[in-house]
Amino acid sequence: MKRGFGTVLGLIAIAAGLAAIFRLVVDTEVAVGFVTISFGILAIIWSSMAIGSLSKGSSLRRHTINFLFCLIFVLLFSIWHTLSKLFMWRETVNEYMLYPGYLFITMAFLIFVITSYQILTIGKEFGFRQQAKEIKNVIEKKKKKKLRSR
């Protein structure tokens, strides 16, 4: 019961926070930027906590670290994009001020690609494709047996 109450209270707090951000910030894009940054910070905190609880040298820890780096670069992109919109860099300053944002998002996707390849390699090494086929065949045989017995 306590957990359900805490969840409801947390959802109410999130809704109130979102409402406050959208009321205080007139520009919708900047408001969405602040919300995105808030969720990004929370994701980084939770990922950091997860890394601390995972075994050193484990593949899951390595993937979580890669995920953390991706989150950091996506957060940097969100911060840069929000600042560029807030201070109107596109209109007032040289357009080269937008390039760091492109660098941040490119780095995030580069790490995603590297991590995806690592996951593919692990999937091939430890995959259960053959066992999954065998399990599927057993299930189909049981279904056919049930249908015949009716």
Write out the two tokens for 93: 């300053």
Q: Is residue 98 part of a domain?
A: yes
Its domain, for residue 117, covers: 31-144
Is 19 contained in some domain? no
In a domain, 22, yes or no: no
Residue-level pLDDT at 2: 67
Name residue 129's amino acid.
R
35's CB contacts (< 8 A; 6+ apart) are 18, 21
pLDDT of residue 150: 67
pLDDT along the chain (150 residues), means of 10: 76 83 81 90 94 91 94 96 87 82 96 91 72 77 79
Total domains present in the chain:
1
Q: What is the pLDDT of residue 7?
A: 81
> Which positions ≥6 away from 27 have C-beta within 8 Å?
85, 86
H helices of 59-128, in order, are: 59-86, 89-92, 99-126
- In this structure, is residue 11 part of a structural domain? no
3-state SS assignment for residue 94: coil
Residue 39 lies in a domain: yes
**Does residue 149 form part of some domain?**
no
What is the Cα 82 distance to its own chain's centre? 19
Tell whether 35 is covered by a domain: yes
Cβ atoms of 72 and 103 closer than 8 Å = no
Question: What pLDDT does residue 29 have?
Answer: 87
